[in-house]
């Protein structure tokens, strides 16, 4: 005799059956609208296997993708964002920072240090977009300028992976000053004949684009990354015109000579190591 064992179903407060599928098991691609198993996307370096849309990844994931295992040593980790203007909107800036430090276990919107890329040393910077939109405040600018100075001292190149909403409004003029500070540091690097490779990921906008991010000896972008100063919606509302398809995306900028190359995430480490070798002094 066969016995059929029925699974007792769980119901929510509305009387509907709860799904037994763990939350986050599936992810919808914003480009092709396909529903894909999350583990499949993760195995594919957070790139959609259907249309090759590049999902955003955090600073730690980017570091693990690019840097040789066990070679990264963080610098200036103790630098902590302050509130020079006692800024407040709907929340105090200090409260926002405190919450982010607790949630993200990070002190600023960038991680900097030294590591090896296919056994070649370089000073590295990885933006963390989830920390206030990767915005550049005084600490971010100080960290970038400091690793550039360290690169000059050690005679090695610099690679920075940008993912930012631009200058941080909560720090006002102190934030805008970082555009000049980072640009001046890179000018010194150039005079020493040392390479700076700028890698633009989605999104790279505002004061970051208007300063160091576009000063690379070679400017690399990931596919379809948004790269701009003012976003397309702002421009459309200002000039009251419809912009071309793909405007301010990496492919559009490559076509118009604003960047040097677009590189798929699975080729990024190999490409950067080759560029560092080509540009070595």
Domain ranges of the chain: 20-55, 57-279
How far apart CA 171 and CA 62 sit, in angstroms, is 27
Q: Which of 82, 127, 83 is nearest to 104 (CA)?
A: 127
* CA distance linking residue 235 with residue 178, whole number of Å: 25
Give, for 196, the enclosing helix (H) or strand (E).
strand 196-204
Task: Name the residue with tokens 């631009």.
Answer: 166
Residues 6+ apart with CB under 8 A from 10: 17, 18, 20
Q: What is residue 231's predicted lDDT score, i.e. its pLDDT?
A: 86
User: Structure pTM?
Assistant: 0.89
Question: Do residues 118 and 273 make contact, with C-beta atoms less than 8 angstroms apart?
Answer: yes
The superfamily in CATH containing domain 57-279 is: 2-enoyl-CoA Hydratase; Chain A, domain 1 (3.90.226.10)
Cα(25)–Cα(206) distance, rounded to whole angstroms? 34
Note the pLDDT of residue 20.
Answer: 56
Q: Starting from the edge strand earliest in sequence, which strands make up the sheet with 196-204, in order?
A: 73-75, 110-117, 120-127, 157-164, 196-204, 218-221, 261-262
User: Which pLDDT does position 232 carry in this prediction?
Assistant: 87
State the Cα–Cα distance between residues 14 and 33, nearest whole angstrom: 29
Q: What is the pLDDT of residue 85?
A: 94
Cα(119)–Cα(182) distance, rounded to whole angstroms? Answer: 27
Residues of the chain with pLDDT under 70: 1-23, 281
Distances (CA, A) of 18 to 14, 26, 28, 46, 119: 10, 16, 20, 28, 50
- Phi-psi group of 193: left, alpha or beta (phi > 0 → left; psi -120 to 50 → alpha; rest → beta): left
């Amino acid at each position: 005799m066969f016995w059929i064992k029925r699974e007792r179903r769980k119901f929510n407060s509305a009387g509907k059956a709860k799904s037994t599928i763990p939350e986050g098991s599936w992810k919808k691609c914003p480009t092709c609208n396909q529903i894909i198993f999350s583990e499949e996307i993760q195995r594919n370096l957070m790139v959609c296997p259907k249309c090759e849309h590049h999902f955003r990844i955090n600073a730690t994931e980017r570091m693990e993708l690019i840097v040789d295992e066990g070679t990264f040593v963080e610098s200036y980790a103790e630098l902590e964002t302050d509130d020079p203007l006692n800024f407040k909107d709907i929340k105090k800036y200090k409260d926002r920072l405190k919450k982010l430090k607790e949630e993200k276990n990070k002190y600023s919107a960038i991680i900097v240090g030294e590591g090896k890329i296919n056994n070649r040393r370089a000073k590295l910077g990885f933006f963390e977009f989830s920390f206030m939109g990767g915005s550049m405040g005084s600490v971010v600018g100080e960290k970038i300028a400091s690793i550039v100075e360290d690169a000059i001292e050690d005679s090695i190149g610099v690679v920075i992976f940008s993912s930012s909403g631009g200058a941080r409004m909560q720090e006002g003029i102190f934030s805008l000053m970082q555009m000049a500070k980072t640009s001046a540091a890179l000018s010194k690097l150039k005079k020493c004949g040392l390479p700076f490779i700028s890698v633009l990921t989605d999104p790279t906008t505002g004061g970051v684009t208007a300063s160091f991010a576009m000063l690379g000896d070679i400017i690399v972008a990931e596919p379809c990354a948004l790269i701009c100063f003012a976003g397309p919606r702002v421009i459309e509302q200002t000039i009251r015109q419809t912009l071309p398809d793909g405007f301010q995306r990496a492919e559009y900028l490559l076509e118009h000579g604003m960047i040097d190359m677009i590189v798929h995430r699975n080729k990024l480490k190999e490409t950067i190591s080759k560029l560092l070798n080509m540009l070595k002094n």
